[in-house]
Amino acid sequence: MQKVDASQKDHVSAAKNGIYETVPLKKDSIKVCLVQSRVRAIDINNLAATRKDNLDHMLGLIDAANGWLGPKDLVCFHEFPITGFNAMWNREAYLKAAIEIPGEETEAIGARAKRYGCYVVFGSYAKDPDWPDHILSITTIVGPDGQIVDKHWKLRNIKGLFGGFEVFTTTVFDALDQYVEMYGRDAVIPVTRTDIGNICTTSTQLEPEIIRAFALKGGELMLRTATGGFAAFDIQSNARYNEMYTTITNNAISPNNPGSFDDVSSGGSAIYGPNGEKIAEANTANEGPVIATIPIKQFRETRRVPNIHVSLYRDLIDNYVEPYAPNLFSEYQPTDGFDAAKYLRDKRQWDNEETIKSDSATM
């Protein structure tokens, strides 16, 4: 990611008077294809061969996406088409599995994007020399020229959900101050302004405030991903609330994925319009495309950011205390999911007596 000059660290490209930043569109309508594909964890003991198998499978699906019903402008994958995931991996295994961006894999994907003149969007575990020992979950946007257009970090993980186990990838929230210092406040909610529309991405579920934040910055194409489940009403309702074209790309039925059943929360990939209408949906939980045409020029001509009345509740947001504070993985990187749970056990602010007293005093 591009480091920001200190003078620009606090800048945020918020919409003004309902109008937001754009770049000129290259065409009036765009063709979008979601690729609902398998997820398969690579073999850490056979790393190069199994990661190449996943990459080759993904490249073949980019070919298929552009061959079935003609070329596409945007091809979207789920969170982990290259590395897959295995909940039992420790930090050492994740760092072995993670790709570098840019790297060999993004170069191959870029060549395919350039061949078809399309954007390709996909997630992956990644590592970055600027963040030694951290495991990142990054969604990469590759442009039709084959170059990386942008990289979006995952914004947050839910903590306290799995009992004695915690997801221990480093998200923006987990290293917020350090992240802002390096990339600036504007990169916290990243909207990538391209010639097919303003793209935003997230694998966050059931936190509508995050989706609204993207909308307030001028997001037009909300590309959401899941691996192992999501709530369709969350996708559809946020498309309507924020008047954004919204996609959800989930994994397909995934045979031979280590440590999981073949059919675990698979399928359901879909595209929704800005009124919440379902435009297209996968008709199977198997691998396959979800295709739609989006009239992006017509949409942009009348689009405005959400009309909200934040003065009514700004003080509530300012006084809200999160269950866990940000920056916890700047201080310590757990060795695995069990170590993460142990580390976070006494970090929950909602169980802190002083926090409870403080909250009561403000009522």
Question: CATH number for the domain including 116?
Answer: 3.60.110.10
Q: Is the pLDDT reported for residue 259 higher than 80? A: no
Which residue do the tokens 């221990």 mark?
168
**In a domain? residue 18:** no
**In a domain? residue 1:** no
One-letter amino acid of 342: K
**In a domain? residue 10:** no
**14 or 102, higher pLDDT:** 102
pLDDT per position as a tens digit, 105-163: 999 999 999 999 999 999 999 999 999 999 999 999 999 999 999 999 999 999 988 88
Q: What percent of the chain has pLDDT over 70?
A: 97
pLDDT per position as a tens digit, 296-315: 999 999 999 999 999 999 99
H-only helix segments in the chain = 47-67, 91-97, 104-116, 176-183, 208-216, 232-242, 296-302, 314-319, 328-331, 337-344, 353-361
Nearest-angstrom CA–CA distance, 192 and 127: 21
Beta strands in 221-303 (DSSP E): 221-225, 245-249, 270-272, 278-281, 288-294
Q: What value does the mean pLDDT of the chain take?
A: 94
pLDDT per position as a tens digit, 269-292: 999 999 999 999 999 999 999 999
**In a domain? residue 130:** yes
- CB contact at 8 A, 300 and 197: yes
Average pLDDT, stretch 4-24? Answer: 91
Closest CA to 114 of 151, 75, 56, 69: 75
Residue 116's DSSP bridge partners are none
Q: Alpha carbon of 223 to those of 65, 95, 178, 256: distances in Å? A: 17, 26, 26, 27
Tally of domains in the chain: 1
> Can you read off the two tokens belonging to residue 49?
């061969």
pLDDT per position as a tens digit, 176-194: 999 999 999 999 999 999 9
**In a domain? residue 104:** yes
The percent helix, strand, coil of the chain (3-state, each to 5) is 35, 20, 45
Q: Provide the residue range defining the domain that includes 336.
A: 26-361
pLDDT per position as a tens digit, 32-68: 999 999 999 999 999 999 999 999 999 999 999 999 8
**In a domain? residue 353:** yes
What are the counts of helices (DSSP H) followed by strands (DSSP E) for the chain?
11, 13
Average pLDDT, stretch 354-358? Answer: 45
Closest CA to 229 of 213, 205, 212: 205
Nearest-angstrom CA–CA distance, 254 and 114: 29
**In a domain? residue 8:** no
Complete edge-to-edge strand list for the sheet that includes strand 197-202? 192-194, 197-202, 221-225, 245-249, 270-272, 278-281
Buried b (16+ CB within 10 A) or exposed e, 237-266: bbbeebbbbbbbbbbbbbeebeebeeeeeb
For residue 14, name the pLDDT band (cuts at 50, 70, 90). Answer: confident
Question: What is the per-residue pLDDT for 2?
Answer: 87
pLDDT per position as a tens digit, 213-236: 999 999 999 999 998 789 999 999
Question: What is the per-residue pLDDT for 330?
Answer: 96
**In a domain? residue 11:** no
